[in-house]
Amino acid sequence: MTGSGGQPATCIFCDARDAASHELVVFRGPTSYVILNLFPYNNGHLMIVPNRHVATLSDAPPIELAELMEMTRSAEAALREAYRPDGLNIGINLGRPAGAGIIDHLHIHIVPRWTGDTNFMTVVGEARVLPEQLSATRDRLRPIFERLAGTTKL
């Protein structure tokens, strides 16, 4: 079922984009935004999402692709500052066979990783271990993104 403009009647990313102050949105730019993953693999699991409802990189014009990458770079810097991870997973899953949970709206995942972290729990125990509430993660990261951008966007 599709709504106006060819996008689905419901899309969690479009809903978050359209909400004036969505509780999971960390930062908004002109063509994309940063949002917390509602079901994170680790504390600080972010997604960078284009404002427009596009499914693939080839559907996005260069200006959107550039901002997606700039926001991914800012997310890397913000997560390194706030959480001091040992590493980061950064990726895009296009299509359900590739692991995409939301197949029609492009998004980039960035997940902080630590040596010996509990990320394996999702696979073997069907449980996730997160010592921080999503609202605390948002409040921790938002001022860093604003400082990196040199402005308050929310």
- Long-range contacts, 32-40 (Cβ 8 Å, 24+): 32/64, 32/67, 32/68, 32/71, 33/71, 34/71, 34/74, 34/75, 34/145, 36/134, 36/137, 36/138, 37/109, 38/12, 38/134, 39/128, 40/111, 40/128, 40/130, 40/134
Catalytic residue among 45, 53, 105, 107: 107
Candidates 78, 9, 16; CA nearest to 51 is 16
Give yes or no: 105 in active site.
no
Query: Tokens 């990783």 identify what position?
Result: 113
Active-site residue numbers? 107
